[in-house]
Structure 1
């Protein structure tokens, strides 16, 4: 049996006030800029997740390594 937890069993993500303070201070104390930075980071993560899904699907369905892995192997 896999040791991974089912989604319902995963521990919740805990964000503390200290985490929030750190995000704001990283943006020079401007809460609006902190929200903007976090939204942009979230969009980048969505793009990366979608690319990972496409690569996994392409590689696993065809039983071949991903295009990126093959290209990297050819460059070196």
Structure 2
């Protein structure tokens, strides 16, 4: 479920705008191609996070993961 957007500090907003411009340029200025590429990248990253979460859960259950206790 999408989270509500939070305000972006001005310095980060400038970096965000630059990233948007770079993404559009990488797709030849085609907004649909840019959105498609970003959706695919997001799906890939979500799958990676899911796999990593499974790995950590299995390692924790088998006693191979020791949390840092300071």
Give the TM interval when normalised to the shorter protein. 0.5 to 0.7
Distance 1:44 1:18 in 2: 23
Alignment of 1:1-40 (within 5 A): 14-15=12-13, 16-40=16-40
What is the Cα deviation at residue 64 of structure 1? Answer: 3.2
Distance 1:18 1:46 in 2: 24
Question: What's the TM-score once normalised by structure 1's chain length?
Answer: 0.62
Q: Which has the larger radius of gyration?
A: 1
Structure 1: 4+ residue segments shifted above 3 A:
12-15
Structure 1's unaligned 5+ residue stretches are 1-11, 66-76
